Amino acid sequence: MTEVLRSALQHVQQREVERRDVLRLLGMSAAATAGLPTLTQFASAQDVALASAVIAGKSDDMIVHNDRSGVMETPLAMLREHRITPKDILYIRNNQILEPQGRSTDGASLEGWTIELRGAVAFPRVVDATTLADLPQEEVTMVLQCSGNGRSFFARAVQTRGTQWQHGGMGQVTFRGPKLSSLLETFDPPLNPSGDVRFVTAEGADAPDEGASRPDFEHSMPMQDVMDKAILAIEMNGEPLSGAHGGPVRLVIPGYYGTMNVKWVHRLRFEASESNNVNQIPRYRIPNDPIEPGTPIDYTFDNSTPNWRQRIKSTIFAPLNEAQVSAGDVEVHGVAWNDGVVGVTEVQISTDDGQTWHAAELEAPTGGYGWYEFRSTVNLPAGEHRIWSRAVDERGNTQPINGAILWNPSGYEWNGADYVDVVAS
């Protein structure tokens, strides 16, 4: 136990992990050292497994939300250490998991994988996924973000339902693969969707748990965006796409929330309407018009929008929340992004709760779907301070100071202005 304690304390010192993570480390390590848990170990055991036990290859410093299907987030202290988020610390959110490859960060094989294209089309096709590597490849560096990222902050108004993500349900990764439109161009005869097709619905090879009555997971996206942007990703960060992140093939739509980037994709349906699958409605939607926090809404296709294009957002990487800093000049560093349709033009910083703002230095990503890095210096006299950041884009979109004005029952698409509380001394 001493060894475990010492290692946990080192974590505290080196990684600034939260207390509950230390408890988690203590509890699970204790249990892991014995063939059968003893009473003492029961007493200290927490109810969450370490990340590597849930998905092989994941860092045990990740915050595990659900150790069954695999839902885990990256502590900001780790996320900020890399321009491209490595696969061992990239967040994961699975509704369903494809066994066995979903349980490992190893690259998954394209051998034997097929993708079916059907729906309101003249000539349905089944594509051998190994041929994807022969097509012209598109590479995109982009923010991959769970639409629930930041959900826990809605509780400042009224608690919302779902995984209580903080900041780390996101990362910046580089996907590579052919554009879906390039694949379609190779078809002879052509797929030839009928004139009224407006949506593409993507299905993964994963399936609901035994005993569940809800339908298989799927998502619909506007066909125009899918044709313009979507790639069939077969690589991530220069390696064959990790099984844990949807390999061998993931439908990737830059600028869209993570949930729409369907993992283990094996079927695409070209249809006139959005799917009425529970994961398209009422899940994964937000109201078109603001609602009073704490009130229900009956979602219809007309009064709501799916978690498609990402809202503009910024996240402060340094200083971290509750950090002790030296009074005087303090460097503020972080990242901002939006849906990539237009550029982020400015990130503003405030140390007086939004009365005055000043622009940070901004470094744009290549491509437009990645992180804009911002840096600024603020002068903090001794005492407690709250440092705010908010991003602005070319359309004039920005982040609300009170993010709860966009409250919705399932807490999707949080994009309130970010802040950290620090003590200068």
Partner 1 sequence: MMSTLRRVLYAFFIAALLTPAMAQEGALPAGPGAELVYAKCQQCHPLRYVTESAGLPDFLWADTISLMVQLGMQVTAEEEELLYSYLTTYLGMNPPPEPAENDAVAAVSNVDPVQAYATNCSACHGADGAGQAGGFPPIVGHASQLAQADRGYLVNLVLYGVTGPITVAGNDYNGMMPGWSHLSDDQIAAILNHVVADLDPSADLPGGLTPYTPEEIAGARDAGLDANAVYESRPSLP
Q: Which is nearer to partner 1, 124 or 208 (CB)?
A: 208
Give the count of alpha carbons within 13 A of 60, CB side only: 13
* Exposed / middle / buried, residue 36 (Cβ in 10 Å: 0-12, 13-18, 19+): exposed
CA distance 331 to 259: 34
CB of 189 to partner 1, least distance (A): 40
CB of 10 to partner 1, least distance (A): 23
Residues 6+ apart with CB under 8 A from 240: 107, 108, 109, 110, 234, 247, 248
Closest CB to partner 1 among 99 and 128? 99
Q: Measured from the CB of residue 66, what is the shortest distance to partner 1 in angstroms?
A: 5
Q: What residue has token string 């929330």?
A: 257
User: Least separation, in Å, of the C-beta of 313 and partner 1?
Assistant: 22
Shortest Å, Cβ 168 to partner 1? 15
Lay out the sheet containing 63-66: strands in order across. 63-66, 71-73, 92-93
* Nearer Cβ to partner 1 (1/364): 1
Smallest gap from Cβ 8 to partner 1, in A, equals 16
SS3 category, 134: helix
CA 263 to centroid of chain Cα atoms: 13
Nearer to partner 1, 23 or 423 (CB): 23
Nearest to 317, CA basis, from 79, 59, 15, 11: 79
Residues that bind partner 1 (CB under 8 A): 20, 23, 31, 37-40, 42-49, 53, 64-68, 99-100, 103, 152, 155, 158-161, 163-164, 208-214, 278, 294-296, 409
Distance in Å, CB of 52 to partner 1, minimum: 10
- Tell me whether residue 16 or residue 67 sits nearer to partner 1 (CB atom): 67
Tell me the CA end-to-end span of the chain in Å, nearest whole number. 36
Residue closer to partner 1, measured from CB, 95 or 345? 95
Output phi, psi for 329, to 5 deg. Answer: -75, 125
Provide the edge-to-edge strand list for the sheet that holds 313-318.
313-318, 328-337, 372-380, 361-363
Strands 114-119 and 265-271: parallel
As measured in angstroms, the least distance from the Cβ of 408 to partner 1 is 11
Residue closer to partner 1, measured from CB, 71 or 143: 71
Give whichever of 6 and 214 is closer to partner 1, judged by the CB atom: 214
DSSP 344-376: EEEEEEESSTTSS-EEPEEEPPSSSSSPEEEEE
CA distance 114 to 126: 6
